Amino acid sequence: MAEDASTGDEGPATVGRPLARTGLMTAAPGWADDGEAGELNPRDYVSSLARGLEVLRAFNRTRRKMTLSEVAAETGNTRAGARRILLTLVHEGYAVADGKLFDLTPQVLELGYSVLSSKGAWDIARPFIDHLSEEIRESVSAAVLDKFEVVYVSGAQYHRVISVGITVGARFPAHCTATGRVLLAEQPPGHWPGIIQNIPLTPLTDRTVTNRHEFRRILEDVRAKGWCLVDQELEIGLISVAVPLRNSAGGLVGAINVGVPSVRATPETMVRDILPRLLETAGNISQALKR
């Protein structure tokens, strides 16, 4: 098969290409030739790597399994370019091919988990998360914000007949999760117009808030209160409450969440029984981070 010119690593096609995913806190750093911060030279931009990363993100945005044509259409690659990227991912163990369908493997978690797990804050937080889970006999998780999604970086799953289980590396939309709303509400005021205008308010249940004016009011309320409760907006039968976690300097580290099946809780009992312990745990972690 002839080489597709669109997969080259250099050339005019890289000039003016977006260097970061549109959104909140991601920006493409630049490096001058001497290694110091500066403007990114187009010759230093590896477009084939960027296209490979876009293919990986496509599986998160759309569906777990995709055909070659679907990957090409979703990412803007040619079929030849998408095929090479997918076959490379298969060869490296990050994807599998099942007939005409491609799927990512759990190995992709290594790409982010090695970084997440190396962050000292989560090592320190883990015993507190475990203790809270045992104390309230419910699952507890911690997340960080990535554009308009939350990524779960730590957690303790309490096994019951009906339980909430979130694995490290899992992603969910920020707009309808308690952790997501806490993290969005804590963003600098200057980011808010872009958040409100650009965040996809996709309805996942008939309770999901999709009105942008109402969503802004919710974020304002969350910021004022310092916590957030979401009642079955992500999934029917799931109620969750989250609070922000700060480091020793008061900076935002992430958010801690308790999710409870609605058969065992109501919004009122979550606020009365779970929230105080969650706030106490976040405070204890913050104190531990100062040591």
Tell me the whole-structure pTM to 2 decimals: 0.60
Residue 42 pLDDT > 60: yes
Q: Write the pLDDT tens digit of every residue in 194-247.
A: 999 999 999 999 999 999 999 999 999 999 999 999 999 999 999 999 999 988
Q: Write the pLDDT tens digit of every residue in 89-120.
A: 998 888 888 888 998 876 776 666 555 444 57
User: Where are the domains positioned within the chain?
Assistant: 5-104, 111-289
Q: Write the pLDDT tens digit of every residue in 166-179.
A: 677 788 999 999 99
Give which of 262, 203, 190, 269 is closest to 234, Cα–Cα: 203
Q: How many angstroms separate the CA atoms of 140 and 156, rounded?
A: 5
Give which of 291, 290, 289 is closest to 126, Cα–Cα: 289
Q: How many angstroms separate the CA atoms of 186 and 184, rounded?
A: 5
Amino acid code (one letter) for 83: R
Helices 212-225 and 178-185: crossing angle in degrees, nearest 10, is 80
Sign of the C-alpha dihedral computed for residues 169, 174, 177 and 180 taken in this order:
positive
Is the CB of residue 142 less than 8 Å from the CB of residue 245?
A: yes
Topology of domain 111-289 in CATH is: Beta-Lactamase (3.30.450)
Q: Which CATH class is domain 5-104?
A: mainly alpha
